[in-house]
Amino acid sequence: MDHQFDPEAPARDRILDAAEGLFAQHGFDATPTSRIAERAGVPKGLVHYYFRRKPDLLEALVDRLPHPVRGADVAVDGDVLAGLRALVAALDRALDASSVLSHLLWREADTHPVVRDALLLRRSGEVEDAVHEVLTAGGGAPERVHGAARLLAAAIGHRYALDRHGADDRTDMEAELAFVAAGL
């Protein structure tokens, strides 16, 4: 299925829209840059002008994922568990809003280190920072917050990995959230 793009949209955005759709439909390796250019309505050279190498398209798509919720926006003063529940719910909404793009990028991360690094370094760090903010606002013991934030961010990442790989239902995290809250 071909998507029509707004011809007034900037060429870079049309290229990324085309790449996202084609990569999701056919996979990264099976999608030539000439097809991306054709779908975006731009000359092939323009694709290479904006994205020197084809993997640069994947890396740019990482930046299109919704940014994780800031922990400070969902934290509940004095209540670690309520803040953690609100954070996981907000992260779930963000993931659901970009499920095709997220699935595509994590699938390609298995074979393209540039994507894996961008996802792990940028996105995992953002989730860890958000958890840290929630734990701190909730009154978590400062000496325990850093380790607990890393542990819970890893658990959240694992949960989303299972979701990406076809788990039927996304598991709730109540036991993990309660464990971390009690430990603080």
Say if 47 falls within a structural domain.
Answer: yes
Residues 93 and 57 in one domain: no
Report d(CA 143, CA 25) in Å as an integer.
Answer: 47
- Tens-binned pLDDT, residue by residue, of the chain (184 aa): 445 566 678 999 999 999 999 998 998 999 999 999 999 999 999 999 999 999 899 889 988 887 778 999 999 999 999 999 999 999 888 877 777 787 788 778 878 888 888 777 777 888 999 999 999 999 988 888 999 999 999 898 878 767 666 555 667 899 999 999 998 8
Q: How far is CA 161 from the centre of its chain?
A: 11
Q: Looking at 27, 44, 62, which one is the last position of a domain?
A: 62
Residues 23 and 102 in one domain: no
Say if 78 falls within a structural domain.
Answer: yes
pLDDT at 117: 82
Q: Is the pTM here over 0.75, yes or no?
A: no
Spatial CA neighbour of 94 closest among 169, 148, 160: 160
pLDDT at 2: 47
Say if 4 falls within a structural domain.
Answer: no
The answer to whether residues 49 and 40 touch, using CB atoms and an 8 Å cutoff, is no
